[in-house]
Amino acid sequence: MIRRILLSIALTAGIFTSLPAGVAFADGPQLHSAGSTWVQIAMQQWTSDVNRFGLNVDYQGIGSTAGREDYMYNLIDFAATEIPYQPEELDLYHRELGGNFRNYQYVPDVAGGTAFMYNLNDPSTGERIRSLRLNSDLITRIFTGKITSWRDPAILALNPGVNLPSIPLIPVTRSDSSGTSGQLSLYLANQQPGAWGAFASRLGCTAPCANWATDAPFVGQSLSSGVTNYVAATPGAINYVEAGYALAKGFPVAYVQNASGNFSIPLSENVSTALSHAQLNPDLTQNLAGVYNAPEPAAYPISSYSYLITPTSNIDPAKGNVLGKFMLYAACGGQQQAPLLGYSPLPENLVQTVFDAINRINGHPTTPDLGTPEGRAACPNPNWTQGGGDSSFAIAAILGGSSTTGGGGAAAATSGTSSATGVFSAAGAASKAQVAQQLVASRRTAAAASIAAVHLAPSSVPTMVVALLLLLIFGPLLVHRRRSARRTPEETA
């Protein structure tokens, strides 16, 4: 009991002293947002961060399609999605809403990779398999229901030396209307148009297809959390999900073959490399054909951006100011957490597009000038403060203690090892001590970066005041407990 009280004192003191100096508790207008589960991990981290600085913003992961709908019907202040409004959606809203049709803009929020989390153990050793390799052909056949066994000859041929179990392959798909499904369908349509086209025709859903099949052999689960939890609990299952979900569960994701012939996983730098080939449309939506075919050895081919959907002139200025400040944090300091959470930070050109979008919002705050040293210092995005961020935590978590060094190649890697850049390699594995050091260092770096990003300035005086107050409250109870513990059985009888 004494230990619990001391822990409570420490935690409470920590909560108070982690607040920025001079910042009051949240008392401004409340903003509600919802949508994509692909970006939910990042969004909920950012809303938690800004709440500490007096901004009332919340986020619910309900799926991209539901988020777009709730925004248009004015049920939320802004939304997040991977897929923009489709023509048939806009036609419906124009008909139903008429003059109440809500204007909007797309704003990039964070980049990431759609990954394939799986649950497989080596039948001889019982150890988790972490070196599965897939290409676009296998991914298409798995998620169109054509492959149903992990010992399928096509899988075995691409994974020499991997002792795959003789169990059913269970493809886990999204049962709700999903932007992640839409992103996967766009990749399959680009890479395997014949096989995807036949499946899409039967499904009645062309890319971007937000509503996947859930009948056998598929297992449908709602939201990213649903497909993640199902795979984590079910040997033989595989899903498609934002990489951060697998990272949070400590499960591996498949290495995906890129245009160079190498096999890559969605580490932050691999996503950034691929997305250097993305093209932005005039409305800031993305054309990813170049990403799917990125030629670099480390590029992760199923990389993309998520978007916020925000109002511009049709928002109360007080709410517009809060929204603009949230977007500033997300584009600047919030991006420092991207690699740790399983994402990739926005590059400078997209940060500037976020600033341009903020300046279109009624009541917006002032945005930094990235053309000046002062402006860059005011926006601590890791692409110019940390060289893009540190992915060592993600490497250690995904590889389960088998992070290695060395380059990668398509013909290499029958040994099941990977380089520290997330590219399949035949180099030797690092020691567990080295991986542990990477893990600790990355956590320390991320914690320091987060503090620097939000300009926390804890003072020793408030710390002492809080500690003394808590000791005055709990001190007598501590003394009483110690005295009670010293009593003899006769005294307590």
What is the DSSP code string of 214-257?
Answer: -STT-EEESHHHHHHHHHHHSTTEEE-EEHHHHHHHT--B-EEE
Confidence at residue 53, expressed as pLDDT on a 0 to 100 scale? 86
Which pLDDT value is given to residue 460?
33
Same domain, 99 and 29: yes
Q: How many domains does the chain have?
A: 2
pTM listed for this prediction: 0.76
Whether 129 and 103 map to the same domain: the answer is no
Written as one letter, the residue type at 400 is G
The answer to whether residues 126 and 96 belong to one domain is: no
Q: What percent of the chain has pLDDT over 90?
A: 70
3-state helix, strand and coil shares in percent for the chain, rounded to the nearest 5: 45, 15, 40
Whether 184 and 255 map to the same domain: the answer is: yes
Q: Are residues 213 and 271 in the same domain?
A: yes
Q: Which of 243, 265, 300 is at the close of a domain?
A: 300
Q: What is the DSSP string of 386-413?
A: STT---HHHHHHHHTS-BB-S---SS--
Residues 126 and 160 in one domain: yes
Report d(CA 346, CA 255) in Å as an integer: 23
Tell me whether residue 64 is in a domain: yes
* Plot region of 98 (φ>0 → left; ψ -120 to 50 → alpha; else → beta): left
The residue whose two tokens read 């609990």 is 233
The answer to which of 51-55, 162-166, 403-407 has the lowest mean pLDDT is 403-407
pLDDT of residue 442: 39
Q: CB count, 10 Å around CB of 259?
A: 17
- Whether 415 has a pLDDT exceeding 80, the answer reads no
pLDDT tens, 117-129? 999 999 999 999 9
Q: Which of 285, 300, 315 is the last residue of a domain?
A: 300
Which of 7-21, 164-178, 442-456 shows the lowest per-residue confidence on average (mean pLDDT)?
Answer: 7-21
State the average pLDDT for the chain. 80
Task: Supply the pLDDT for residue 389.
Answer: 53
What tokens does 351 get?
A: 């940060």
Q: Are residues 152 and 213 in the same domain?
A: yes
Q: Tell whether the torsion through CA atoms of 3, 48, 46 and 375 is positive or negative.
A: negative
**What DSSP string describes 28-73?**
S-EEEEEE-STTHHHHHHHHHHHHTTT-EEEEEE--HHHHHHHHHT
ω into residue 266 within 30 of 0, thus cis? Answer: no
Residue 299: pLDDT band (50, 70, 90) is very high
Q: What is the mean pLDDT of residues 221-239?
A: 97
Host domain of residue 143: 114-300
Cis status of the peptide bond prior to 339, with omega within 30 of 0: no
Q: Which pLDDT value is given to residue 400?
A: 54
CATH number at residue 93: 3.40.190.10
The better pLDDT of the pair 235, 407 is held by: 235
Asked if 36 and 156 sit in the same domain, the reply is no
The answer to whether 83 and 104 have CB atoms below 8 angstroms apart is no
Specify if 36 maps to a domain. Answer: yes
The number of angstroms, rounded, from the C-alpha of 406 to the middle of its chain's C-alpha atoms is 26
The pairs formed by 474-481 with CB atoms below 8 angstroms and a separation of 24 or more are 474/5, 474/8, 474/9, 477/5, 478/2, 478/5, 481/1, 481/2
pLDDT at 385: 85
Of 255, 272, 300, the one marking the end of a domain is: 300
Is position 244 within any domain?
Answer: yes
Lowest mean pLDDT, pick from 16-20, 218-222, 290-294, 324-328: 16-20
pLDDT tens digit sequence for 426-465: 333 333 334 334 433 433 343 333 323 333 223 333 333 3
Q: Domain for residue 329, yes or no?
A: yes
| Position 38 pLDDT exceeds 50 | yes
Q: Could you give the CA distance from residue 197 to residue 199 in angstroms, rounded to a whole number?
A: 5
CA atoms within a 13 Å half-sphere pointing along the CA-CB vector of 491: 6
Domain annotation covers residue 314: yes
Tens digits of residue pLDDT in 113-156: 999 999 999 999 999 999 999 999 999 999 999 999 999 999 99
pLDDT category of residue 469 using cuts at 50, 70 and 90: very low
Residue 442 resides in a domain: no
Residues 277 and 334 in one domain: no
285/200 same-domain check: yes
Residue 409 in any domain: the answer is no
Residue 65: which pLDDT band, with cuts at 50, 70 and 90? very high
**Residue found under tokens 């799917």:** 292
Does 397 map to a domain?
no
43, 127: one domain: no
How far is 151 from 166, CA to CA, in rounded Å? 6
Q: What does the block give as tokens for 468?
A: 């003394």
- Residue 28 banded pLDDT, cuts 50, 70, 90: confident
Per residue in 384-403, pLDDT (tens digit) is 887 655 544 444 444 454 33
Residues 135 and 239 in one domain: yes
Q: Is the pLDDT of residue 379 over 80?
A: yes
Mean pLDDT of the region 325-345: 95
